[in-house]
Amino acid sequence: MNAVKTDEIRQTVREKYGRIAGGNGIGCCSGGGSGCCGSQIGDPGMISKGLGYSDDDVGAAPQGANLGLGCGNPTAIAALRPGEFVLDLGSGGGFDCFLAAGQVGETGHVIGVDMTPEMISKARANAEQGGYRNVEFRLGEIENLPVADGIIDVILSNCVINLSPDKARVFAEMFRVLKPGGRLAISDVVACGEMPEEIRRDMALYTGCIAGASPVSDIERMLADRGFVDIRVCPKDESKSFIRDWAPGTNVTDYVISATIEAVKPANVSLF
């Protein structure tokens, strides 16, 4: 993919999620049509429960942090421990960051990275509202993380990596910032069928977490190429029940499905 096309994709995604951040926080794309990673309409709490979050999860975060976006619950597979340092890629309003903050406690720390200024402002306001002292939000692209080498125990992400036009670079950056023995706990969409070219070229379906999905075999290869081990990509058939709502009237579930993605940076890898 050439640089012009890559920049066009990033700018389109940034503009789309900037508008979501500036909205009323009820679902996304409520005016109809595809164009975001999540249900088009509805209560964010109910949407999140359908993605695997509990009542306690939904009630724990500050009001406005949960935008009803995502395709799963990465905190459910992360097995976070007190004192761990956590990084959330594409942190949005901060929902997963605040859940992680409660699990790592005062001795832990959570960093959220998002490339949309409006989302960063919203998340910082949510953190202030909730009195969170162990969470911070940084503006940046997931292909060029504003995070030092080897300081992160766990990386979370919820339906964001598919939006990147350079996924191999994202996985390389993940490997760089993780401590030896650090791990990934990701929910994302993957391609489960040969996607027609007209879908691949549809920018609304790209920003809607559909057209940019990669096959499981490609994800496994990219992670292995970066040096990750214990790679597990597990598609979730039940996710088709909510993915079909992302593009009503289409056969999108023939082509994409939600999956959990886990991997580990080997413990014997040098930081340098």
Domain boundaries, the chain: 3-264
Q: What whole-number percentage of the chain has pLDDT above 90?
A: 64
pLDDT (average), residues 173-192? 97
Q: How confident is the model at residue 229 (pLDDT cuts 50, 70, 90)?
A: very high
pLDDT surpassing 70 at residue 222: yes
Lowest mean pLDDT among 54-63, 105-114, 202-211: 202-211
pLDDT surpassing 50 at residue 24: no
Q: How confident is the model at residue 27 (pLDDT cuts 50, 70, 90)?
A: very low
Best-predicted range by mean pLDDT (59-68, 117-126, 236-245): 117-126
- pLDDT of 10: 79
Lowest mean pLDDT among 79-88, 194-203, 229-238: 194-203
- pLDDT of 198: 85
Q: Which fold has domain 3-264?
A: Rossmann fold (3.40.50)
Lowest mean pLDDT among 10-14, 49-53, 115-119, 196-200: 10-14
On average, the pLDDT of the chain sits at 89
Secondary structure of the chain as H, E, C letters: CCHHHHHHHHHHHHHHHHHHHCCCCCCCCCCCCCCCCECCCCCHHHHHHHHCCCHHHHHHCCCCCCCCECCCCCHHHHCCCCCCEEEEECCCCCHHHHHHHHHHCCCCEEEEEECCHHHHHHHHHHHHHHCCCCEEEEECECCECCCCCCCEEEEEEECCHHHCCCHHHHHHHHHHHEEEEEEEEEEEEEECCCCCHHHHCCHHHHHCCCCCCEEHHHHHHHHHHHCCEEEEEEECHHHHHHHHHHCCCCCHHHCEEEEEEEEECCCCCCCC
- pLDDT of 36: 63
Q: In terms of pLDDT, which residue wins out, 128 or 206?
A: 128
- pLDDT of 26: 42
- pLDDT of 3: 57
pLDDT surpassing 80 at residue 270: no
Q: How confident is the model at residue 22 (pLDDT cuts 50, 70, 90)?
A: confident
Lowest mean pLDDT among 1-5, 24-28, 113-117: 24-28
pLDDT surpassing 80 at residue 75: yes
pLDDT surpassing 50 at residue 31: no
